[in-house]
Amino acid sequence: MTGHKQPYYITTPIYYVNDKPHIGHAYTTLACDVLARFKRLDGYDVMFLTGTDEHGQKVDKSAAAKGIDPQTFTDQVSQNFRDLAVHMNYSNDDFIRTTEERHKKACQALWNTLLEKGEIYLGSYDGWYSVRDEAFYGEKELIEKDGEKVAPTGAPVEWVSEPSYFFKLSAWGDRLLKFYDDNPDFIAPQSRRNEVISFVKGGMHDLSVSRTSFKWGVQVPGDVDHVMYVWLDALTNYLTAIGYPDADPAKLEKFWPADLHMVGKDILRFHAVYWPAFLLAADIAPPKRVFAHGWWTNEGQKISKSLGNVIDPYDLTDRYGLDQTRYFLLREVPFGNDGDFSHRSMVNRMNSELANDLGNMCQRVLSMIHKNCDASVPTAGTFTDADQAILGKAYGMLDTVRPLFDAQAFHKGIEAIWELVGDANRYVDEMAPWGLKKTDPARMETVLYVLAEVIRHVGILVQPLMPASAAKILDQLVLPIDQRGFEQLGADHALVAGTDLPKPEGVFPRYVETEDEGEKA
Ligand code: ME8
């Protein structure tokens, strides 16, 4: 089987190491993790990449502010992102750092290719630069804030005047527009695609791709005075990780073009305009898709260091639990939109959807089985229409969820699974198996069997989202580890009557408000 699996390559942005990881970083990587896990369970050979972006002026300045050299600084801060990946139970297959040798080599190879193809020339840059955004801005793009010129993002800008290599971006407008046209799914969501297209239609200038006023970057081959523009360096990470330029072509072709670059809306332009232009210019296929998700606010307020309301992912998981946090982040907000984090909605979802709807259903059903069916998988008799309806829904759920996840509509996929959970709760109430024990024990067993099958399906399907909790549910059904893949969904792999089951334990605790929290609400 292995060796014939379809490849799937998914990437997160590589995060700047100028700061501690926060909810925004955790969110992007979580979305990728859920998709990576989903694809693995669905039989794909997945490559899931995340990492840290360690060069550039912003990182250089942060290191200087701490009084340490940039390499020591990046070693420390990059580790925070690795630690977060472990803490959040991300299943990334690699973690790339742009200060690694393999990456410098890849950047220089891409540079040389662009140079050979006549896409890069030496000139000088006179214009605005924002260190915070690590981006160049045209005069017309700037806005006024408190009497000062700032970037459209609100970031401070400075005037830069230095020799610089340029990439001939201005020549790529029409070819990019054709590329977007030929590949309607390349940029998602649709509204963001329209924004990118109108930006490109507005006309583009050549892009400065090297700097001379500081040293913290990948050196431009053959010109010791220049380091590469941090975005050219950073974007190349997606190629480095699959072995560019040295890996044998079969390996490169296996995972390239990447299936999905997941990014926040703030960095879509770099991924949907500059990156495909660099790649097309180097004769390398652009990625298949770039999805730009929205931003989180905290209790209605923009998250910012100066407001002191940055949400630390460790605080969330300590307070609410890891899988609860994972669930909430992808369930609360239609993926692609901005979202607000609030304690109230977190507690509501965790108590009603996890503790009540799913948790209680499992606990009720498994306890009844334990007590009334000799602690083993019950024996099913003939299925009624009602039994078949709910079983059919469970058996067909992957076909419902797969296209939703493939479109990154996580919230809708989760909602569909919870509809099944809701049906199961109504089915328990209607069938009232507790009342059947005396009147029709065979029917009771059939009802409990149907419910156990629904639980098996829900357990298998929620593994990408809540790996540890799903494992607990499936452990309670004594489902062997190798029988938890999506190929096991459906009637062909149904639970075997008579399998001994352990005493069930609750999987999703309720959040109990402290008096203080209750009063605030
Ligand atoms: O931009 N809500 O790195 P970065 C949601 N190094 N997501 C958020 C967020 C928020 N409030 N804040 C940040 C960079 N993010 C470059 C990327 S890729 C080749 C180089 C997430 O550390 C979101 O994914 O500033 C955003 O795109 C990313 O963090 C920016 O991370």
Q: How confident is the model at residue 308 (pLDDT cuts 50, 70, 90)?
A: confident
- Angle in degrees, CA 359, 364, 370, rounded to 5: 120
Indicate whether 65 pLDDT > 80.
yes
| β-sheet bridge partners, residue 519 | none
Amino acid at 72: T
Ligand 1 close to Cβ of residue 107 (< 6 A)? no
* Orientation angle between helical segments 467-476 and 361-372, nearest 10 degrees: 20
Ligand 1 close to Cβ of residue 267 (< 6 A)? yes
Q: Does the complex come out with an ipTM higher than 0.85?
A: yes
**CA nearest neighbour of 37 among 46, 29, 25:** 46
> What gap in Å lies between CA 240 and CA 413, rounded to an integer?
32
Q: What is the pLDDT of residues 318-336, one digit of tens each?
A: 999 999 999 999 999 999 9
- Average confidence (pLDDT) over 226-238: 98
- Mean pLDDT, the chain, integer: 96
Indicate whether 521 pLDDT > 70.
no
Amino acid at 88: M
Q: What is the pLDDT of residue 518?
A: 67
Ligand 1 close to Cβ of residue 16 (< 6 A)? yes
Q: What is the pLDDT of residue 4?
A: 80
Q: What is the pLDDT of residues 333-343, one digit of tens each?
A: 999 999 999 99
Indicate whether 306 pLDDT > 90.
no
- E strand or H helix at 137: strand 135-137
> What gap in Å lies between CA 305 and CA 321, rounded to an integer?
25
Q: What is the pLDDT of residues 16-25, one digit of tens each?
A: 998 889 999 9
- Helix then strand then coil, % of the chain, to nearest 5: 50, 15, 30
Q: Is 199 exposed, middle or buried (0-12, 13-18, 19+ CB in 10 A)?
A: middle
Atom number, ligand 1, closest to the C-alpha of residue 238: 19
- Average confidence (pLDDT) over 487-516: 95
| pTM assigned to the model | 0.96
* Orientation angle between helical segments 467-476 and 441-461, nearest 10 degrees: 150
% of residues, the chain, pLDDT over 70: 99
Q: What is the pLDDT of residue 301?
A: 86
Ligand 1 close to Cβ of residue 200 (< 6 A)? no
Atom number, ligand 1, closest to the C-alpha of residue 15: 22
Atom number, ligand 1, closest to the C-alpha of residue 235: 19
Task: Give the long-range contacts of residues 245-249, CB within 8 A, separation 24 or more.
Answer: 245/105, 245/106, 245/109, 245/110, 246/105
Kindly report the backbone phi and psi dihedral angles of residue 158, in degrees, each rounded to the nearest multiple of 5, phi listed first: -130, 155
Q: What is the pLDDT of residues 108-159, one digit of tens each?
A: 999 999 999 999 999 999 999 999 999 999 999 999 999 999 999 999 999 9
Q: Which of 16, 57, 329 to mutate to test the pocket of ligand 1 (most atoms within 8 A of CB)?
A: 16
